[in-house]
Amino acid sequence: MFLWLFYFVQGESMLLFPTKNEQFWEDLWLSATKRPDKIDKSQRTDQNSEGQNGDDPVKRWDRMAGGFNKRSGSPEALKRKEKILSMLKASGALKNGAKVLDIGSGPGNWAIPMAEAGAVITALEPSGEMIKELKKRAEDKEVSHLINIVQKTWQEFDIKKEGFEGRFDLVFASMTPGISNPETLRKAMKAARFRGFCYLSGFSGGGWRTAYKQIWKELFNEEIESHSGDFIYPFNYIYSLGYRPYVEFMMWEQTREESVEDALETILFFILGSSDVEPSKKERLTEYLKDHSTNGIFSYNHKICQGAMLWQVLHDKSILGAMN
């Protein structure tokens, strides 16, 4: 099921309506990221730092590359993708020759179709395995010449040094840990040209980490908090800055069917950072998955809500003051 809510102001009438309390919403978002019970190392993107158990977070994304690629091709995923692409085209954010920055491009789920629409893409992605998938798909679709790949995290990327300030017609960030706090969101806005567009989507009300919390509680009697990436934080912050974006919510049910080994990797990918995954817990979780699998396949259903917003960036004094 898809639920749509649109509000958008264009042209000379597009004015900022700041609420004058952006610091409140910035502090609220930051406080959520700093709560000890909400520290989510699966969202860490420093390629030189290690997560729990000495596990590099980018390496975890490397291991997830194949699964991401497969799931992006499901009929329901393709239907959602067409909805978003239609919205981008209708607003003028995606058109032939547009310069697009895709933050956290992954295996090219969005970079490929946007290049097929004639846009010139700069794909920012830290995972080497994701980049391999992206390159292969770009070659298969014959759009490699339209996609420039940069292997870095958004957090470490210096937009001023690289000449990215005010450069793009569309700065696109879909379900990515690259936009994890007000600073990274402001940097994305600075990369957009005057009256250029920004698009951001994220889980609303919790994603797969929330889905697996019942299993975790059943096994270890530990509560798993949803991380601070909920859509409510960036939306309220952008609203407080004066923007009234297109807002869209999409809800659907999704079933993951994976081998026991892959399901273990998936669950630890989402849970890691909330609780120490000791060897004994890993063994117990493995036994649980085996006991609840059929012919070696573990199946799990979850209801998902995704929030998305699209807005035009105005670099006037009021917004620049908040963005510095």
Specify if 213 maps to a domain.
no
Specify if 216 maps to a domain.
no
For residue 103, report the phi and psi dihedrals to the nearest 5 degrees.
Answer: -85, 120
Return the pLDDT at 35. 53
Return the pLDDT at 286. 94
First to last CA, the chain: 40
Specify if 245 maps to a domain.
yes
Q: Return d(Cα 146, Cα 121) in angstroms, integer.
A: 6
Confidence of residue 3 (pLDDT cuts 50, 70, 90): very low
**Residue 324 has which token pair?**
């510095």
Closest CA to 115 of 129, 132, 135: 135
Return the pLDDT at 221. 86
Return the pLDDT at 110. 97
Return the pLDDT at 126. 94
Confidence of residue 225 (pLDDT cuts 50, 70, 90): low
Lowest-confidence pick of 53-67, 155-169, 285-299: 53-67
The alpha carbon of residue 289 and the mean position of all alpha carbons in its chain are separated, in whole angstroms, by: 27
Q: Return d(Cα 207, Cα 110) in angstroms, integer.
A: 20
**Tokens 């749509």, residue located:** 4
Q: Does residue 275 carry a pLDDT above 60?
A: no
For the segment 224-251, the average pLDDT, to the nearest whole number, is 86
Specify if 264 maps to a domain.
no
**Residue 197 has which token pair?**
């567009």
The sign of the dihedral angle between the CA atoms of 159, 163, 167, 173 is negative
For the segment 120-132, the average pLDDT, to the nearest whole number, is 95
Specify if 121 maps to a domain.
yes
Q: Does residue 229 carry a pLDDT above 90?
A: no
Confidence of residue 63 (pLDDT cuts 50, 70, 90): low
Lowest-confidence pick of 202-206, 310-314, 318-322: 318-322
Q: Does residue 135 carry a pLDDT above 70?
A: yes
**Tokens 């969202």, residue located:** 43
Q: Does residue 22 carry a pLDDT above 60?
A: yes
The kind and range of the H/E element at 207 are: none
Q: Any idea what the CATH number is for the domain that residue 118 is in?
A: 3.40.50.150
Q: What is the DSSP string of 54-110?
A: G--HHHHHHHHHHHHHHHTTSHHHHHHHHHHHHHHHHHTSS-TT-EEEEET-TTTTT
Considering only residues 248 and 1, tell me which one the structure prediction assigns the higher pLDDT.
Answer: 248
Using a 10 angstrom Cβ sphere, with 0-12 exposed, 13-18 middle and 19 or more buried, the burial of residue 283 is exposed
Confidence of residue 54 (pLDDT cuts 50, 70, 90): very low
For the segment 70-96, the average pLDDT, to the nearest whole number, is 86
CA distances from 67 to 111, 126, 139 (A): 18, 17, 20
Residues composing the chain: 324
Specify if 105 maps to a domain.
yes
Considering only residues 257 and 122, tell me which one the structure prediction assigns the higher pLDDT.
Answer: 122
Whether residue 113 contacts residue 107, with contact meaning beta carbons closer than 8 Å, is answered with no
Domain that holds residue 50: 2-207+226-257+308-323
Specify if 291 maps to a domain.
no
Q: Does residue 176 carry a pLDDT above 80?
A: yes
For the segment 284-310, the average pLDDT, to the nearest whole number, is 92
Cross-strand bridge partners of residue 123: 102, 149
Specify if 175 maps to a domain.
yes
**Residue 117 has which token pair?**
């629409």
Look up the pTM and report it: 0.79
Whether residue 115 contacts residue 145, with contact meaning beta carbons closer than 8 Å, is answered with no
Q: Return d(Cα 17, Cα 14) in angstroms, integer.
A: 10
The structural domain count of the chain equals 1
Q: Return d(Cα 64, Cα 170) in angstroms, integer.
A: 27
Confidence of residue 60 (pLDDT cuts 50, 70, 90): low
Whether residue 101 contacts residue 197, with contact meaning beta carbons closer than 8 Å, is answered with no
Q: Return d(Cα 37, Cα 53) in angstroms, integer.
A: 18
Confidence of residue 237 (pLDDT cuts 50, 70, 90): very high
Return the pLDDT at 95. 96
